[in-house]
Structure 1
Amino acid sequence: MYRGSSWSELTPEKLKDLTCAHEYAVAVSNRFDVLGALEDPVELWDTFKRETLQAAKECIGERPRSRRGFVSTETLEKIDESRAARLAGNQDQHRALSRRTRTLLWRDKERYVRSLAEDVEGHLNANDLRPTYRALKKLRSKSPSRASAIRTADGRLVSDMDGQMARWAEYFGQSNVMACERRSTDVVWLLEKSPTSSFPGNRLPSRGEVLQMILFHHKIQKEVLFAAAASTAEKVLEVWRRANIPTSDVSWVKKKILKLYEEYGALAKSKSRKTETEEMKRCIFRDSLEDIFDIAHSKAMEAKIPEEDKAFLEAQREDRQSCSMSGVDEKLKRATGEAT
C-alpha cells in the first residue's frame, strides 16, 4: 500500500493560479494512462493516489515543514528515518534511531533556550523591553495548569478551588500543630530539658527556666527575638510581683534576657568543638542555670517590704531549692529562730 505525502502536506491554494492549475490537470491526465491496464481495485486505488499526489507534489509543491521553533534539519531527517524503519518493521533500527532522535531533540532544545536567554539578556542590557517580553513568552509553557481533586479529612473528593484551599489550610494547620507539639518535647542542648511556656510558680525563676521560656517563644511560637524576650520578661515579672519583691525596669529585664540568650547561642555555635576551654565554658554555664535569674531592684533590701519577703529573696539567691513562696523550709525557720 502506498504511503507518501498527504494532501494536507501540499499547498492547494496555488491552484488558484490558472497556469499552475492547467499544468496540474495535464500532469494528472498523463499519469492516468496507466490506470486502464489495472484490474485489482486495491492496486488501482494505490496507483491513482500515488500518481495524483506525485503530480501535485511536482506542480504545486509541499508546505514548508514546521520545526517547532528549534528542531534542526538533522533531527528532522532522523525522525523521518526512524518512521521509515518503524513502517518497514525494522524494530532494532527503529529503537536506535529513536534514541538518537531524542538526543538530538534535547540538543536542539538546549541550543534554542540558550539562544533565547542570550537574546533576553541582550535586550535587557539595551533596555529594549518589547523583544524581551516576546522571548520570555516563547520560553513560557503554553500548557494550562490542571487542578486535580483532593480528599478531605472525611474522604470526600473536592475539585473546586475554594474547597481545595480550605482543605490545604486545614491540613497545614494540623501539621503545624503537630510540629509544634513535637518540637516542644525536644530536649534543648546543654539544658537537657524541653522549652516551656510557664514557670513552676512557687520559686523565683532560674536562669535555665528563663532560657527555656525564651526558646519556647522564639523557636516554637516563632516570635521574633525581641518579642520573645518581651513575652518572657512579662512572665518573669509576674512571678516576682507575686513574691512582693521590687524589680528593675522592664527594659533592663529584657536586656538581661537577651544577654542570656546570646550567651547560650555563642556556646551552641561551638558545640562541635571538644577543646578543654570550650568544655570548661559549657560546664560553668550549665552550673549557672540553677541560679536565680536575679532582677531584683538594687535597693530591694532597703525597701519597705515584710522581712519574710527579704528573707525569701536572700534564701533564693543562696539556694533556690531551700524554700518556696508558701514559706521558707524548716532549715530556714530554725536559722531564723536561732538568730532571734
Structure 2
Amino acid sequence: MLDYIIVSRRWRSSITNCRTYRSAALGNTDHRLVVTNLRLRLKAQKSDHRPPKLDLNNLRNSNMRQVYVVSISNRFDCLGQISESEKAWQLFKDGVLLSAVSAIGHLKPRNKSWISQETLNIIEQLRKARLAKDIVTHRRLNGVKNKFLHRDRKLFTEKKAADLEEAARKGDTCALYKHLRDLTDGKPSSLGPIVSNDGNIITDESAQLFAWKVHVSLLLILDFVSQPDPDLLQVTSKTPEALCASVRKK
C-alpha cells in the first residue's frame, strides 16, 4: 500500500470507515484515492451565567415595600395601551424585574451564613469610610464590627448546639451531621498546639501525634503499675502453661 491516512490516537475510536477508491482517475500515478469517515461528538458548552437573586427580605421593610409598589404601578400604566399580548407580556415581565432591582436590590452573597444583616451593614459602612479615608469613623466602625461578629458567632453556635441536641434526642442522624458540618464550616478539625513534657510547644502535626501516642502509652503503663496483676508479676514461680492461662483470663 502506498497511501495512508495518519490519525492521532485520541481520534482513533472516532474512525467509522476507511476505503480506497481504485476507480478514481488520478492521472499517470500508482496512488489511489483513500477516504476516511470520522464521527465527531462535540460537547455542548454549558453556561454558568445565572441571574442574581433578589433580596426579598427587604420587602419586610415598609418603606422599601412602598417604593416597590409605586415603582411597579408607574410601569404598568402603559400596558393598557398595548394590544399585542406577546409584547404586553414582555413589558410586564421586564417591568416587574426592573422595579424589583431598583427598589429592593440583589441579594449579596454570603461566605458565612451566620453573619447578620446588621453586621453586613456595618461592614459596608466600614468599606465606605475606608474609601473616603475617614480614619476616625473607620476605627470606630471596626470596633463595632468586631463586637457584632463576636455576637453573631456566639448566637449561631448556641443555636446549632440546641439543634444538635434536638437531633440527637430524636435520633435524626442526617440532621445531626448536617448541623455538625454547619458548625465546623465543613472543614476537618485540626490539632492545636500542645506542650511537651519538657515545656516546649509542639505545632507540627506529626510530632503532635507522636507526643499523644507517647502520652497514652505512659498512661497505660502507669495504670498497669498502679494495679498490677499478681498472676502476671509472679512469672518466675509459674510454668509457661500457667502463664498463658493467666494471660487468657485478662
TM range (shorter): 0.3 to 0.5
TM-score, scaled relative to structure 2: 0.40
Higher relative contact order (CA 8 A, sep 6+): 1
Structure with the higher strand share, 1 or 2? 2
TM-score, scaled relative to structure 1: 0.31
Which entry has the higher C-alpha Rg, 1 or 2? 1
